[in-house]
Amino acid sequence: MPIDPLTLSSGGRSITSLPKAGDEGAGGFQSALGKMLDGIEKTSADANTAVTGMMEKTTDVHEAMIALQREDLTFQLSMQIRNKFVTAYQDIMRMPI
């Protein structure tokens, strides 16, 4: 009896069609981390633009405050992710060989 491949809940692609770790198109961890850092930089730039707009009276105060809070939450999330990476690295370095 043949076994049907499992499908992902989003997109409906089969698991066997996903890129492997050694494939060129995989991207992997480095690209995910790069995308996260680009998102953090974009959120920070958006907050700076909103504050500048507020000072020039072209942007509403509420929009500027929302942008600042979004930037603050993004920064806090990135710091927590960094802390988890540092902790994982320290745990690996403490492992006996």
Condensed to tens digits (0 to 9), the pLDDT of residues 35-48 reads 989 999 999 999 99
Query: Does residue 78 lie in a domain region?
Result: yes
Q: Is the residue at 2 inside a domain?
A: no
Q: What is the greatest pairwise CA distance in the chain?
A: 70
Tally of structural domains, the chain: 1
Give the pLDDT band (50/70/90) at residue 8. very low
pTM: 0.64
Would you say residue 8 lies in a domain? no
- What distance lies between CA 26 and its chain's CA centroid? 17
Residue 64 forms part of a structural domain: yes
Domain presence at residue 69 = yes
- Tell me, yes or no, whether 11 lies in a domain: no
Beta bridge partners of 14: 7
Q: Does residue 10 fall inside a structural domain?
A: no
Q: Is 18 part of any domain?
A: no
> What integer pLDDT is reported at residue 5 of this predicted model?
55
**Domain range holding 52?**
27-94
